Amino acid sequence: MLTNLVNKTNIAPIEDKVNIEYDVFINRDKTVSQTFGKLIRQARKDKDYTQRELAKLIGVDYTYLSKLENDHAGYPPSEEVIGALALHLDLTQREDDLRRLAGRITPEDARVFEELIKKYQEMPALLRRMRDEPDFAQKLLRENRQIESEENHR
């Protein structure tokens, strides 16, 4: 069940009368229901581009664009592809959201990581352990969600 509206942004008006809104919701288990692929597919359709047309504009093969739209690319798109998609789909104000949804680190994320590493010298070791031990990472994330939930109910 969708419980929390996270980010609602008006994107470029179409025919000067209708604003299209792209909503990103978070479910109770804190998973994002909007995906990179769903977002770019809807934006492409709203702009009346075919996959071939958009692929040509952003400089990729249409089969790769199809994989991106179906969330089956196997790896995050490059910064250049994300930027080109944002530009041609009028999503430039949502470029950081696109990066996050695509699995890329945003400039803000990089700054936060740098600050944490400077402040907590054991942070790199913790991140490596989370990478190497998915069960440990899931446990930390569950505990964090529980703490946040308890804090929100106070």
Q: Are residues 141 and 129 in the same domain?
A: yes
Q: Are residues 88 and 129 in the same domain?
A: no
Blockwise average pLDDT, block size 10, the chain, 154 residues: 31 31 38 82 97 98 97 93 97 93 89 91 90 92 89 82
Q: Are residues 45 and 94 in the same domain?
A: yes
Report DSSP state, residue 90.
Answer: T
SS3 41: helix
Q: Which domain holds residue 117?
A: 106-153
Q: Are residues 88 and 121 in the same domain?
A: no
- Whether residue 101 contacts residue 69, with contact meaning beta carbons closer than 8 Å, is answered with no
Q: Is residue 129 part of a domain?
A: yes
Q: What is the pLDDT of residue 107?
A: 86
Reported as type and span, the H/E element at residue 19 is: strand 18-27
Neighbours of 102 (CB within 10 A): 23
Q: Are residues 97 and 145 in the same domain?
A: no
CA atoms within 13 A of residue 95's CA, in its CB half-sphere: 17
Q: What is the pLDDT of residue 12?
A: 34
Q: What is the pLDDT of residue 15?
A: 30
Q: Are residues 96 and 144 in the same domain?
A: no
Q: What is the pLDDT of residue 58?
A: 98
Q: Are residues 52 and 89 in the same domain?
A: yes
- Whether residue 67 contacts residue 73, with contact meaning beta carbons closer than 8 Å, is answered with yes
Q: Are residues 48 and 81 in the same domain?
A: yes
Locate all alpha helices (DSSP H) within the chain, ordered by sequence.
Answer: 36-46, 51-58, 62-69, 79-88, 95-102, 107-119, 123-132, 134-152
Q: Is residue 25 part of a domain?
A: no
Q: Is residue 14 part of a domain?
A: no
Q: Are residues 96 and 111 in the same domain?
A: no
From the number of C-beta atoms within 10 Å of its C-beta (0-12, 13-18, 19+), residue 34 rates as middle
Structural domain total, the chain:
2
Q: Are residues 44 and 98 in the same domain?
A: yes
